[in-house]
């Protein structure tokens, strides 16, 4: 009985690891159309920081600009207590259009970022695999060009997140907020 249970758990682990490697990237990704202002509508993650802070999280804005080298300069502005905090990241392009890498100097983590799906003028679904030391975390973001997306887009985000092995309690539709929404594009 114990051996059978361990076999099942092992197969489930292998399946989830393979699923992460098979995460698609937007076909014919066009970075110039991906730039501009986005709202963070949904966030899902199995990272401890997310579980600890998700009750305090609100919608934030992200501005994406293309660099001359084809990388993405990403600036997120989010409410933190009674002020607005900015975080800048430089996503380095890879050989696969729509896939980027990022190294956090602050946290010492490596990020594999994939634009899974976007229509550029309404929504974007972005997957990140983060590796720090021997730990691997998954994060899925749902961006919108406006603060509202259709129930179908929200459901697609939820189902994609679950498909990456994230449980229901690790998936959050961010509460709307007017705090920190006025950012220059």
Rg (CA), the chain: 17
Which of 18, 60, 84, 180 is an active site residue? 60
Contact 70, 57 (CB under 8 A): no
Q: Is 60 a catalytic residue?
A: yes
Contact 116, 23 (CB under 8 A): yes
Contact 97, 56 (CB under 8 A): no
How many alpha carbons fall within 13 Å on the CB side of residue 83? 2
Percent composition of the chain: helix, strand, coil (DSSP 3-state, to 5): 25, 40, 35
The tokens of 75 are what?
Answer: 């600036």
DSSP 82: T
Q: Which residues are the active-site residues?
A: 60
């Amino acid at each position: 009985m114990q051996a059978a249970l361990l076999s099942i758990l092992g197969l489930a682990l292998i399946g989830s690891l393979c699923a992460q490697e098979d995460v698609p990237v937007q076909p014919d990704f066009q970075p110039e159309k991906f730039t501009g202002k986005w709202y963070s509508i949904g966030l899902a993650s199995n990272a401890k920081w997310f579980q600890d802070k998700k009750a305090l999280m609100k919608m934030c804005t992200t501005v994406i600009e293309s660099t001359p080298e084809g990388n993405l300069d990403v600036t997120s502005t989010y409410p933190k207590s009674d002020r607005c905090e900015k975080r800048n990241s430089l996503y380095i392009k890879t050989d696969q259009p729509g896939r980027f890498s990022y190294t956090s100097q602050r946290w010492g983590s490596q990020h594999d970022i994939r634009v899974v799906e976007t229509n550029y003028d309404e929504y974007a679904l972005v997957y990140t695999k983060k590796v720090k030391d021997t730990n691997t975390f998954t994060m899925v973001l749902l961006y919108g060009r406006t603060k509202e997306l259709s129930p179908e887009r929200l459901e697609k985000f939820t189902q994609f997140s679950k498909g990456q092995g994230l449980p229901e309690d690790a998936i959050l539709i961010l509460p709307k907020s007017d705090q920190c929404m006025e950012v220059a594009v």
